Amino acid sequence: MLVLTSIIHQKQPNNIQQPQEDQVLNKDAADTEHHTPDSSKTFPTMLKLISGTLVGGANYSDIYDNEMNSPIQSRNNTTNNNQLKVPTLPEIARKVAKLEKTQLDEKQYIAYEIIACTFLLGFVKDGNNPKTTLYSSLQQSMGCPNTTNMEDLVNRLKARGGQDQLLMFLTGPAGSGKSTAVMVAQQFCFEFCMAVGDMWSDETFLFTAYTGSAASLFGGVTISKAAFINQRRPLSLEDKNEWQDVQILIIDEVSFMSDSIFRTLDKKLKDIGNRNQPFGGISIIFAGDF
């Protein structure tokens, strides 16, 4: 198991791609395999691609098999019409295990699937919501999804742990591998975004910590700053726009947060997102050792 003292303070692997658009594991392959032609960017196609990520790996015992001893193959999971290659959940777990010698145990793998499937559910929800950027980028007029197929995909994602809003608590002492599942999930989500031609930003997975000392270790920000905890004036449109790319919020050292800070965080995130849902409907991974 990978030994890490913090879910935030982790050295980026040498061989695994840092999830940024300008840094790709294999840039030449990315230029050809990860580019999605505009004509293929329809909501039904998006649903097919998401469905493709769920191929294989229904049982943990099947994840790390003989493929671990064979060379890493290029992706062959495609749609019939457009030959768009997408990563599968087991594929990314095996890739990380092979390149970084970091194999998820069963509990870590469950957490990995929960995070990744929650992320994919967000694509289904946003792709079907006329108010979102994703909806406007998809060519809705080129085909409407079969409602039954969409409901079936949603059920499959939820069966693998996906949540409409993820509120996950990761705990354990230093070295228990709290960050490993998050790292692999981030890698999967990055590769999926690259494969389908959707934008990835530094805020897609927003890593924060409660204390400044922990945040400084990875050059990040405290949750107080990111969520405007100490800001007395009403949030401006510019403040809210800073959160438009956030899909998963990670808060380390949650054990240091008081009840009043939690209540303030809830209020601020409701101002940013959905006022009728806890924490504004934003998916959050709370991490820390009590």
Asked if residue 31 and residue 139 are part of one domain, the reply reads: yes
- Domain limits at 135? 27-162
Give me the phi and psi of 167, to 5 degrees please: -125, 90
Model confidence at 18, pLDDT cuts 50, 70, 90, reads: low
Asked if residue 212 and residue 142 are part of one domain, the reply reads: no
Contacts of 163 (CB under 8 A, 6+ apart): 114, 118, 121, 283
Number of independent structural domains in the chain = 2
Q: Per residue in 171-228, pLDDT tens?
A: 888 777 788 999 999 999 999 999 888 778 999 999 999 888 777 766 678 999 999 9
Q: How, if at all, do strands 167-171 and 205-209 pair?
A: unpaired
Residue with tokens 């098999």: 65
Two tokens, residue 91: 């594929």
Asked if residue 39 and residue 118 are part of one domain, the reply reads: yes
27 pLDDT more than 60: no
138 found inside a domain? yes
Two tokens, residue 128: 């079907």
68 found inside a domain? yes
pTM of the model: 0.82
Q: How far apart are CA 47 and CA 146, in angstroms?
A: 10
Res 106: pLDDT: 93
Query: Where does a domain end: 103, 138, 162?
Result: 162
Asked if residue 157 and residue 251 are part of one domain, the reply reads: no
275 pLDDT more than 90: yes
CATH number at residue 247: 3.40.50.300
Q: Per residue in 68-122, pLDDT tens?
A: 555 455 444 544 444 568 899 999 999 999 998 889 999 999 999 999 999 999 9
Contacts of 80 (CB under 8 A, 6+ apart): none
